[in-house]
Amino acid sequence: MRLGFAGLGIMGQRMAANLLRSGHSVTVYNRTADRPEVRALLDAGARVAQTPAELAAGAEIVGICVTDGAAVAALLHGPHGILGALRAGQLVADHSTIAPAQARALAEAAAAAGGEFLDAPVTGGDRGAAAGTLTIMVGGSKDGFARLAPYLRCVGKTIVHVGPSGQGQLVKLVNNFIGGIALAGAAEGLWLGLRGGVPLERMMEVLSAGSAQSVSLQLLADRMRSGDAAPGFSLRNRLKDMDLAMRTAQELAAALPVGGAVAELFRERLALGEGDLDQSVLVRRYLAQGENQGAG
Amino acid sequence: MRLGFAGLGIMGQRMAANLLRSGHSVTVYNRTADRPEVRALLDAGARVAQTPAELAAGAEIVGICVTDGAAVAALLHGPHGILGALRAGQLVADHSTIAPAQARALAEAAAAAGGEFLDAPVTGGDRGAAAGTLTIMVGGSKDGFARLAPYLRCVGKTIVHVGPSGQGQLVKLVNNFIGGIALAGAAEGLWLGLRGGVPLERMMEVLSAGSAQSVSLQLLADRMRSGDAAPGFSLRNRLKDMDLAMRTAQELAAALPVGGAVAELFRERLALGEGDLDQSVLVRRYLAQGENQGAG
């Protein structure tokens, strides 16, 4: 296949590399082209497009993986945007995490141009992206999903067509929303045990084998052991997804009190200047209480 | 070994059966003795004691597994209580979930009588109890733990000495606290997806393979599929443990805002008369919002 791929961040560069490895002809586009990760892909056989429109011109499928909805809109719209170059039968697969409502609007705009825009957000982190084992949740038509599937199998392992346009994004928000709350719960629980004098390792021996076990608990405990705050998933992006989930819930008139409270705790850390650190710095909120341990 | 075991509820009757199966001499005590589960144990070779004191009289180790702190106190104190009959070198292992502060107080009372009271709460549910694969977290002295270990291995698989008296209970509260918050987060997240029109099965295909995965999410999804509200873990007991965790946090001057909010959501369902149903009925709080779906 002739493929285009826009957005060569931590996830995108690994996904593009796997597309190349699968033997496809791949053209890439990145807002800032003069970066080592772009050059590495060119060395591996990719070509580079100067504009999103040029990327779309020769491709059967265009993949997108950028930071947020504004970045997706910037690629799609405008005189050099993907939508202006889109022809009948072309597919756009958006792997970014954006609002379901925006995904539906972009799908309508693409359909007006004769193409199809499918939301196909991913989960599995940089390791899953490198290994080609991402979980991908797709929103769009059955036909579009069937045509997209061979492309998706180059970058992911668990690939699920969850429903019509926007529902891939909705499930992604649900995934990150549940994970965000579980992370906050793990932070409070581990802090309670630490405050009571139980060492982290003793607790984790039990909790890993008990009903508290979760991906978030394991992630948090690993970070607390290592003390590493370099972002695997940044606090800023975690909050972005919590806020998208809460806004989507508002549109659906769904009241989610725990999610609302947890979003505010992440926002507190953002206000303290920790947005670009790993989401696990949320636990600092609790550890800081230890500073006044003798005050009671 | 000559063993005593008090409390033959869902967990205790299965634990006592495993002690018998391991070839030990077991005497049992239950507040109401004329019950099928007591008779089944007698048929399997157990003897029955008429009072907690009689249970303690001939036993090297006395196990306890009852509902709450008041029930544990009732067994230990009073003219026919275990403490009055306790002799030097005897061990009491309490598998109930009670406040760490109460466990420490009972340990002091037992030490005054020359014995040792260790907190040894369990997790793993009725299935873990039946299979003898419970996870057991023990608070008490190193020597007491070493002497208790052969007994514990008859009923559990992952057995961890987490620290001095009370810390077994603390880790149990941490486990259930983290699980309770994860359950509430899963309920909110799944509801957001359902409200947006994604079928539960489609969501779970993705979430089971993603960063949202947890024991609580899986438990909740299974209950939502089956519609079964018979208690595996009752809402009343879930709230009891959340409240014990919050009270312990207060004693430690630890602020846990998410835990406090989640406890109130469970309390709301208790107030609606659902205390004896499974904890997963928390999700009804969200499903009820669907009744007014057209109102916005």
Residues of B within 8 A of A244 (CB-CB) are none
**First vs last C-alpha separation in chain A:** 67
- Work out the average pLDDT over B253-282: 97
Contact A261 B257 (CB under 8 A): yes
CA max distance for chain B: 70
With both helix axes pointing from N to C terminus, report the angle between A200-207 and A167-195 in degrees, rounded to the nearest 10.
130
Tell me, what amino acid is at A53? A
* Catalytic residue of the set B142, B157, B172, B240: B172
For residue A213, give the nearest of B174, B100, B167 by alpha carbon: B174
The pLDDT score that the predictor gives to residue B296 is 39
Name the strand (E) or helix (H) holding A207.
helix A200-207
Residues of B within 8 A of A198 (CB-CB) are 162-163, 167, 170-171, 174
Classify the complex by whether its ipTM is higher than 0.90, answering yes or no.
yes
Q: How far apart are CA B154 and CA B152, in angstroms?
A: 5
Percentage of the residues of chain B whose pLDDT score is greater than 70 = 98
Reduced to 3 states, what is the DSSP secondary structure of residue A41?
Answer: helix
pLDDT band at B172 (very low <50, low <70, confident <90, very high): very high
Evaluate if pTM is beyond 0.80. Answer: yes
Residues of A within 8 A of B158 (CB-CB) are 205-206, 209
For residue A101, give the nearest of A169, A194, A162 by alpha carbon: A169
- Which runs of E-coded beta strand occur in chain A? 2-6, 25-29, 47-48, 61-64, 91-94, 116-119, 122-123, 134-139, 156-163
The pLDDT score that the predictor gives to residue A64 is 98
A207 in B contact zone (CB under 8 Å): yes
Sort strands A91-94 and A116-119 into parallel, antiparallel or unpaired: parallel
| pLDDT values of chain A reduced to their tens digit, one per residue, 296 residues | 999 999 999 899 999 999 999 999 999 999 888 888 899 999 999 999 999 999 999 899 999 999 999 999 999 998 899 999 999 999 999 999 999 999 999 999 999 989 999 999 999 988 899 999 999 999 999 999 999 999 999 999 999 999 999 999 999 999 999 999 999 999 999 999 999 999 999 999 999 999 999 999 999 999 999 999 998 889 999 999 999 999 999 999 999 999 999 999 999 999 999 999 999 999 999 999 887 654 43
Domains, chain B, in order of start with CATH, read 2-163 (3.40.50.720), 170-292 (1.10.1040.10)
The pLDDT score that the predictor gives to residue B232 is 86
Question: Which residues of chain B from 102 to 121 reach within 8 Å of chain A, CB to CB?
Answer: none
CB-side neighbour CA atoms (13 Å) of B180: 33
CA A221, A222, A227, A228 torsion-angle sign: negative
Most A-contacting residue of B157, B158, B192, B218 (CB-CB within 10 A), to test interface: B192
The pLDDT score that the predictor gives to residue A34 is 85
For B267, the token pair is 């309390």
Per the listing, tokens 């005593």 go with B4
Residues near B74 by beta carbon (within 8 Å), at least 6 away in sequence: B81
For A4, the token pair is 């285009």
Active site residue A172: yes
Most B-contacting residue of A174, A201, A220, A265 (CB-CB within 10 A), to test interface: A174
For A10, the token pair is 């931590």
Reduced to 3 states, what is the DSSP secondary structure of residue B141?
Answer: coil
Q: What is the pLDDT of residues B40-76, one digit of tens each?
A: 999 999 999 999 999 999 899 999 999 999 999 999 9
Q: What is the pLDDT of residues B210-243, one digit of tens each?
A: 999 999 999 999 999 999 999 888 999 999 999 9
Q: Which residue of A has its CA nearest to B192?
A: A249
Reduced to 3 states, what is the DSSP secondary structure of residue A91?
Answer: strand
CA distance B115 to chain A (A): 24
Residue A116 β-bridge partners: A91
Q: What is the pLDDT of residues B204-213, one digit of tens each?
A: 999 999 999 9
Closest CB from A160, A193, A258 relative to B262: A258
For A81, the token pair is 């945007």
A295 in B contact zone (CB under 8 Å): yes
